[in-house]
Amino acid sequence: MFLQVVFILSALLTVVSAVMVVFTRHIMYAAVYLLGSLIGVAGLYLTLGADTLAATQLLVYVGGILIIMIFAIMLTGGQDFMKNSRKSFLQVPFMGNVKTYVFGGLAALVMGSIGTKLIMNVADRFSEHSEMLSYQSTIEVIGEALVTDHVLVFEISSVLLLGALIGAATIARPIKKQ
Amino acid sequence: MEHTIVGYFLQFEIMKNLVEMASSTLGFNASSIIAFIIFLTASLILLLIAATIGGLGTFAERKISADMQMRPGPNRVGPYGIVQMVADFIKLFLKEDIVPVNADRFLFYIAPILAIVGVLGTFAVLPISSGLIISDLNVALFYAVGISSLVGLGIFLGGYASNSKWSMLGGMRGAAQIVSYEIPVILSMFTVILFAGGLSFGAILENQSGGPIGWYLFHNPFTFIAFFVYFIGILAETNRAPFDLPESESELVSGYNTEFTGMRYAFFALAEYMEVFVVAAFASALFLGGYKIPFNIGGDSLIGQVLQAGMFFTKVALIYYVVIWIRWTLPRMRVDNLMTLCWKYLTPIAFFNLIGSAVWIYYFGNKSMWNLIFS
Amino acid sequence: MMNLAAYLFISLVLFLCGIIVIIARKNIVAILIGMELILNAAALNFVAYSRYVTHHIDGHIFPLFIIVVAAAEAVVGLAIVIRFFQIKETIHIDDATQLQS
C-alpha cells in the first residue's frame, strides 16, 4: 500500500520531470527539472528495496553533479544564454511539415506499441519468479561484495576518480596571460 | 519496521489492543494504517519541534551575542524577551512578499522550499532518544548528508534567481563552500563509522556509553582529531562565522538572501538555524555519546526516555552555544583562505585520520585508548 | 502495478527524453544533462532486473559504478565546457569544430 503510493509519486515525478527537461526553454530550468527526475529515480530505487543506492543517488547527484552543472551554466553565460545566443533552441527550425509529423507520430505509436508488447512478453516470462523479496538492508551485502567479488572494479574506479579530479583541475585552469 | 518509532510504540500492550480494535472495526488488517498515523503524528510533532528550535536558535543568537557585547539584548516581549521569536515570526509573516521585477520567478519560489526541505528531511533520522527516532535507517548518515545537500542547492538557486550581483556572489560562494567542505566532514564521519561498523545511529550509539570514557571523542587520537575537523567543517557547511562568506554583511549586503522578504527570508533563516541544530546533533551522536546516559538510569521506561532526550538536548545546546560563541568572537575569513583551509589542510588531515583509524583497527581491533592503557 | 514492465517503461521514457535532449539541444551543458538521464535509465534497469529476475546483489553494484562514472564524466565534461567557453566565448556545440585552439 505505502510502497505503491511511493511508487506512483516517484514514477510521476521522474517521468514528468524528464519530459519537462526536454520541453523547457531555459537551461537553468532544465537543471532544476533534472533534480526532480533524479529524486524520483531515488524514490524508485527505494521501492525496489535498494536503500543504499537511493542514498548514494541523493548524495552524489544532488550534492555533487547538479551543483557542478549549475556552476557550469552560470560560468558560461548564466540566465541570458538562451535568449541572446545567436543560435538558440528557439531558432531551431521545425524539422518537417504536417504530413511528416502525422506520419512520424503514427510510426512512433506503432513502434511504441510493439515495444510495449515486447516488454510485456519479457515481464510475463519472468512473472512466476517475480514474488517480492523481503525488504532488508542491502548495505552490508553491498559492502562485502565491493571488497570481495568486485574489488578490481572498485580499485579501478578509484583510479578513474583520481584521474578525473586531476584532469578537471588541469583543464579548467585559467589561461595564463603571456 | 522494528527500527522505527512504530516499532517502539508497538512494544506496548495498549498499542496492540488499539490495532486489534481498529482491525475488528474496519474489517481488515489495520496495522499499516496505524503505522501511517503514528508516522504522521510523529512527523508533525517533530516539525513543530523543529520550527521551535529554529526560533529558539534566533533568540539564543541574539541573547548570547548581546551578552558578549554587554548589551541587554531583546528583553521587552515576555520574560527575558523569550516571546521575541513569536513576535519576529508574526512580523515576517505579515510582511509584504516582494519579488524583484527581473527575478526568475520559478527559481525564486522554489529556492527557499528546497532549503527548508533539505533540513527537515534530516530530522527523520535524528536520534533524540532510544524510542523517539522516526526511522533508524540503515543508511542514516548517508541519507542525512545526501538530503541536506539540498540546502546548498537552495542557497545557490536563491542567489541566482534574485538577479542581483550581491545575491549571485553570495550564492556562488555558498555553493562552492558547501560542496568543498562536505569532503572533510564525510571523511571524519567515516572515521567513526569504521569503529562503529554501521551507518545507522543505532549502530553508532551502541558502542558508546554515557561517561566520557566511552565516547568516540576519546576513543583514540584519530577520532579526537576527527571531531575537530568535523566541527570546523560543519561551521563552514552551515555558513556560520568565521566562514559566513555567503552572507557577509560588510561586502555583500546580505548575500544570497538580500532580495528575499517575508516568509521566504524566514525559510532561509530557519533553515540555517535548524541546520546548525541538526549538525550539532550529529556531532553529539557521532562523537559525544548522543542520548546515552551514565549507568543507564531509567532504562527503557518513559522516565528513561525523558532523561535520554534531556541528555541529547543538553549536549546539542552546548555545541550550539560554542557555535554562536565562535561567531561573535572570530573575524571573517577571506575566500581564498577558506578554500586553502579546506583543500590543503582539512582534507589531508581527514584522510590521515581515516588511514590512521584503519591501521588502529588492524592492530588493536575495536579497543579504545583506555582499554589499552588500563589493561 | 509494481512489476518489471512498469520500471522498464519508466526507464524507456527516461532514455527517450535523454536522447531527445542530446539530439535537439545545441547547448553543451544541456547535452550533459541528457546524458545523465540516459545513465539513470540504465541504472534503473539494472536494479529492476536484479529485483524481479536475478535476485542477486550484483544488480545493485553496477549502478554504483554507473554513478561513479557519471560523476567523473560530469566533472571532466564541465571542465572542458568551461575551458571551451574561455576560448570561444560560446558553448554552442556547432562552434566546437577544432581539436586545438
**pLDDT of A45-101, one tens digit each?**
888 878 888 888 888 888 788 888 888 888 776 544 444 444 444 555 555 677 777
Report the domain count for chain A.
1
Q: Does A41 touch chain C (CB under 8 A)?
A: yes
| Neighbours, chain C (3 or more CB pairs < 8 A) | A
Mutation to test the A interface, candidates B104, B108, B153, B201, most A Cβ within 10 Å: B153
**pLDDT, position A141:** 80
- Quick check: A90 and A26 in contact, CB under 8 A? no
- DSSP H or E segment with residue C14: helix C4-24
Q: Is residue A50 part of a domain?
A: yes
Query: Which ipTM was obtained for this model?
Result: 0.86
Q: Is residue A177 part of a domain?
A: no
- Is the peptide bond between B294 and the residue preceding it cis, with omega within 30 degrees of 0? no
**pLDDT, position B124:** 80
Contacts of A166 in chain B (CB under 8 A): none
The answer to whether A30 contacts C53, with C-beta atoms less than 8 Å apart, is no
Q: Give the structural domain span for A99.
A: 2-171
Please name the member of A58, A64, A67 whose beta carbon is closest to the beta carbon of B147: A58
Q: Is residue B144 part of a domain?
A: yes
- Rounded to two decimals, the pTM is 0.82
Å from A143 to nearest chain C CA?
9
* Dist. CA C4–CA C8, nearest whole Å: 6
**pLDDT, position B5:** 66
* Dist. CA B112–CA B118, nearest whole Å: 10
Q: Is residue B185 part of a domain?
A: yes
Contacts of C17 in chain A (CB under 8 A): 18-19, 21-22
* Dist. CA A161–CA C64, nearest whole Å: 13
- Quick check: A3 and A42 in contact, CB under 8 A? no
What fold is seen in the domain C4-95?
Helix Hairpins (1.10.287)
Mutation to test the A interface, candidates B143, B178, B344, most A Cβ within 10 Å: B143
Please name the member of A27, A41, A120 whose beta carbon is closest to the beta carbon of C44: A41
Average pLDDT, chain A: 76
Confidence of residue A120 (pLDDT cuts 50, 70, 90): low
Task: State the SS3 of chain B.
Answer: CCCEHHHHHCCCHHHHHHHHHHHHHHCCCCHHHHHHHHHHHHHHHHHHHHHHHHHHHHHHHHHHHHHHCCCCCCCCCCHHHCCHHHHHHHHHHHCCCCCCCCCCHHHHHHHHHHHHHHHHHHHHHCCCCCCCCCECCCCHHHHHHHHHHHHHHHHHHHHHHCCCHHHHHHHHHHHHHHHHHHHHHHHHHHHHHHHHCCCCHHHHHHCCCCCHHHCCCCCCHHHHHHHHHHHHHHHHHCCCCCCCHHHCCCCCCCHHHCCCCHHHHHHHHHHHHHHHHHHHHHHHHHHCCCCCCHHHCCCCCHHHHHHHHHHHHHHHHHHHHHHHHHHCCCCCCCHHHHHHHHHHHHHHHHHHHHHHHHHHHHHHCCCCHHHHHCC
C92: helix, coil or strand?
A: strand
Report the pLDDT averaged over residues C50-59: 78
**pLDDT, position A84:** 42
User: In this structure, what DSSP letter does residue C97 have?
Assistant: -
Contacts of C24 in chain A (CB under 8 A): 22, 89, 92
Residue A157: strand pairing partners:
none
Residue C92: strand pairing partners:
C27
Find the angle CA(C32)-CA(C38)-CA(C44) to the nearest 5 degrees: 140
**pLDDT, position A132:** 44
Please name the member of C2, C70, C86 whose beta carbon is closest to the beta carbon of A65: C70
**pLDDT, position A78:** 53
Q: What is the CATH number of the domain that holds A59?
A: 1.20.120.1200
* Dist. CA A20–CA A1, nearest whole Å: 28
Mutation to test the B interface, candidates A4, A33, A76, A79, most B Cβ within 10 Å: A79
- Quick check: B110 and B157 in contact, CB under 8 A? yes
* Dist. CA A11–CA A13, nearest whole Å: 5
* pLDDT for A130 beyond 50: no
**pLDDT, position A92:** 52
* Dist. CA A132–CA B213, nearest whole Å: 45
* Dist. CA C96–CA C101, nearest whole Å: 10
Q: Does A17 touch chain C (CB under 8 A)?
A: no
Contacts of A8 in chain C (CB under 8 A): 1
pLDDT tens for chain B, 375 residues long, are 456 666 666 666 777 777 777 777 766 666 667 777 777 787 788 788 888 888 888 888 888 888 888 888 788 877 887 888 888 888 888 888 778 887 778 888 888 888 888 888 888 888 887 777 777 777 888 888 888 888 888 888 888 888 888 888 888 888 888 888 888 888 888 888 888 887 888 778 887 877 777 788 888 888 888 888 898 888 888 888 788 877 777 777 777 888 888 788 888 888 888 888 888 888 888 888 878 887 777 666 778 778 888 888 888 888 888 888 888 888 888 888 888 888 888 889 988 888 988 888 888 877 777 777 887
Report the candidate in C101, C72, C69 with the shortest Cα–Cα distance to residue C85: C101
Mutation to test the A interface, candidates C3, C12, C33, most A Cβ within 10 Å: C33
Q: Is residue A148 part of a domain?
A: yes
Report the candidate in A68, B149, B114, A77 with the shortest Cα–Cα distance to residue C33: A68
Residue B27 Cα distances to A154, B17, B19, B31, B34, angstroms: 52, 15, 12, 12, 14
Alpha helices in chain A (DSSP H): 2-23, 27-47, 51-57, 66-75, 81-84, 98-125, 139-147, 151-171
**pLDDT, position C22:** 82
Report the candidate in B347, B330, B265 with the shortest Cα–Cα distance to residue B96: B265
Residues 6+ apart with CB under 8 A from B209: B215, B289, B292, B294
**pLDDT, position A129:** 45
The answer to whether B142 contacts A59, with C-beta atoms less than 8 Å apart, is yes
Please name the member of B32, B139, B157 whose beta carbon is closest to the beta carbon of A52: B139
Contacts of B157 in chain A (CB under 8 A): 32, 70
Amino acid occupying residue B59: F
Q: Give the structural domain span for B341.
A: 96-373
Report the domain count for chain B.
1
* Dist. CA B283–CA B229, nearest whole Å: 11
Q: Is residue A94 part of a domain?
A: yes
Q: Is residue B4 part of a domain?
A: no
Residue C27 phi, psi dihedral angles, 5° rounding: -95, 130
* Dist. CA B26–CA B19, nearest whole Å: 10
Q: Is residue A176 part of a domain?
A: no
